[in-house]
Chains A and B, each alone.
Chain A
Amino acid sequence: MHWLSKKRNLFVMIVPSFVIYTVYIIASVCIAVYYSFTKYTGIGKAAWNGIENYVRVFHDKFFWISLKNTGIVLILSLLTLTIFGFLLANVLRVKRRGNDLCKALIFSPSIISPIIVGIIWIYILDPEVGILNQILYKLGKEGWMQMWIGGTVLSPYMYAVIFLWRQLGYLSTIFLAGLNMIPEEIYEAAEIDGANAFQKMVYVTVPMARNTFNIVILLIITGVFKIFEFVTQLTAGGPNHLSETVVTYSYTTTFSNGEYGYGMALATVVFIITLILSEIYNLIMRDKEEEQ
């Protein structure tokens, strides 16, 4: 290998990736952080304004609302996706005709364009054109009809429903990959000890799949902080920013209001929150592992 590893060869092979990646990803993060300390409206030069933007984030009512909405989606998703994803993986794991087809179908929502996911759910949830309210009306349950989206309360809960619909197949596939690594002998041993199906799941599968749970939970955390497209389609964050998620709020502030400096401060804060959340989770898990 030595005589092919001339400096010139190495240079030619690494530089294209390096340049394009450094400019668009690494430098971009630096540029974003730089603008977060400035006031910039797109005209003239960006004016340095210290930590002003960060102070403003802290006092921004709409930021806290968007954070609360994102928190609601996060908590609901952690509950529903880990539980249902795990249960579904256990059902899919059984050797049975038609299982592969079911798995492929349940997975399919995660591959279609997230903008289209938004459009589809408009026709289900929208109070005017959506079928959910129409069905309730036809069933004579007018009292149950709601402003599912576009109202002041329910939007984030509906985001969680859509996120569940989109991610379940994907996350249960991750679970399935983890479950298939558990050696069959352990189940056989448990069976000899007289464990029933439920006991086997609780005492064998769950503890053996701990790493997989960790991966899934991290994916949910990072995934929820990327929820964007279907929110812009369903509510555009309205009315009056009440149903924004953190990402849509920073996007609207930056690109619709043209407050580039403040928008970058929001984006930076969101980025740091995501890193901290996943890092805290990582640390807790590592501690627990060491205890055992």
Chain B
Amino acid sequence: MTNSAGSKLGRRISGIVLAIFTLIWMFPLVWMFFMSFKTNSEIYAAPLSLPQHLNLDNFARALETLNIGRMYVNTLIVAVLSVGLGFLVTFLSSYALCRMVFRNKKLQRGLLRFFQLGLMISPFILLFPIYRITVQGNLYNSIWSLVLPYIATQVSFNTLLMYNFFKGLPAEIEEAALIDGCNLPQLLGRLILPMTKPVVVTVIVFNVLYVWNEYPIASVLLRDESMYTLSMGASMFKGAYSVDNAGIIAASVLIIVPELIFYGFLQRYIVDGMVAGAVKG
């Protein structure tokens, strides 16, 4: 790629510009982080200065006023259930649509199209209907009220990624396994699943992040504070603390930092998922 980049001097200049630009882009996050150690009066008097000392009071208050620990547990339960089950059902359906033999070919193609329609549907038109379905189905105020729609919203994306991946797998391996007398659960669990690992990780990591950040659906389904997920809880910070800005900032940092660490370790899969969803979606 060296040729397309111009002269050595040009490259050096563009490198410096990039570094400065990155610093500017990071300013809001870094600055939030520093602010979370400051007292309210420090924030008010000298918003741009570094904190005087490493003051952890804000975090203590954040953990006390809003039960952030509880919010983490709730988010984790919802994420594990909805991403786990969502993966299981879409793994099976994508495999069936891609590799199994349908008597009716048209039905097979039609189902694939049908499953991908969801990529065009904006979540906001679904909010009130999902609320109605939840109430009618007697699920209101249960964990399933969130888990089921979260599974449904993963279907199209998972189908897209997994179907394309299955299509690229060589058929010979499956045929050999079948000749050796492999049954369906063995074929899927011992052979296909391990071969699908890269796309499995992408799908799971991407969906965990989605559930972690999801707010619109949670906001219409959660009333009981003890069931709040992180995003839902965060939307209430302003009301809960009223004038305690340091508390709000500390609580926000308690949500962002683990998320950034998660991103740091699994960056490749997150980026892959977001790019793949866009390019085909």
Contact = CB atoms under 8 A, between A and B. Distances in A.
B241 to A, nearest CB: 11
Contacts of A188: 3
Interface stretch (B52-60, B193-201, B256-264): B256-264
Interface in A235-292: 247, 250-251, 254-255, 260, 263-264, 267-268, 270-271, 274-275
B62 interface: no
B17 interface: yes
Given A5-B101, A113-B231, A173-B271, A131 B48 contact: yes
Interface residues of A, number: 96
B152 A25 contact: yes
B227 to A, nearest CB: 17
A57 B133 CA distance: 26
Interface string A198-242: 001000010000000001000100100110110011000000000
Interface in A8-29: 9-10, 12-14, 16-18, 20-21, 23-29
A284 B178 CA distance: 49
Interface in B114-144: 114-115, 117-118, 120-130, 132-133
Contact of B3 (A21, A119, A187, A255): A187
A112 B127 CA distance: 22
A2 interface: yes
Contact of A1 (B35, B174, B231, B274): B174
Interface in A160-198: 165, 168-170, 173-174, 177, 184, 187-188, 191, 196-197
Contacts of B274: 110, 170, 173
Chain B interface residue number, banded: 35 or more
A4 B184 contact: yes
Interface string B73-104: 00000000000000001101101110111100
A134 interface: yes
Contacts of B178: 1, 3-4
B189 interface: no
Contact of B128 (A32, A226, A270): A32
A96 interface: yes
B32 A123 contact: yes
B235 interface: yes
B2 A99 contact: no
A254 B127 contact: yes
A91 to B, nearest CB: 5
B170 interface: no
A16 B93 contact: yes
B15 A96 contact: yes
A225 B122 contact: yes
A21 B124 CA distance: 16
B279 A20 contact: no
A174 B275 contact: yes
Given A31-B132, A116-B255, A226 B123 contact: yes
Interface stretch (A48-56, A68-76, A101-109, A143-151): A101-109
Given A10-B96, A29-B126, A191 B259 contact: no
A108 B260 contact: yes
Given A32-B128, A131-B47, A113 B230 contact: yes
A215 B281 CA distance: 9
A135 interface: yes
A84 B156 CA distance: 30
Contacts of A104: 264, 267
A112 B209 CA distance: 9
A130 B163 CA distance: 47
A98 interface: yes
A116 B100 contact: no
Given A14-B111, A24-B130, A123 B100 contact: no
B249 A123 contact: yes
B182 to A, nearest CB: 9
20 contacts: A4-B187, A14-B111, A17-B159, A21-B118, A26-B117, A28-B125, A28-B126, A102-B19, A105-B26, A108-B260, A111-B263, A115-B235, A123-B249, A134-B47, A184-B1, A191-B3, A197-B10, A219-B278, A233-B235, A274-B122
Interface of B: 1-7, 10-11, 14-15, 17-19, 21-22, 25-26, 28-29, 31-32, 35, 47-48, 89-90, 92-93, 95-97, 99-102, 111, 114-115, 117-118, 120-130, 132-133, 148-149, 151-153, 155-156, 159, 174-175, 178, 183-184, 187, 209, 212-213, 215-216, 219-220, 230-231, 234-235, 237-238, 245, 248-249, 252, 255-256, 259-260, 263-264, 267, 270-271, 274-275, 278-279
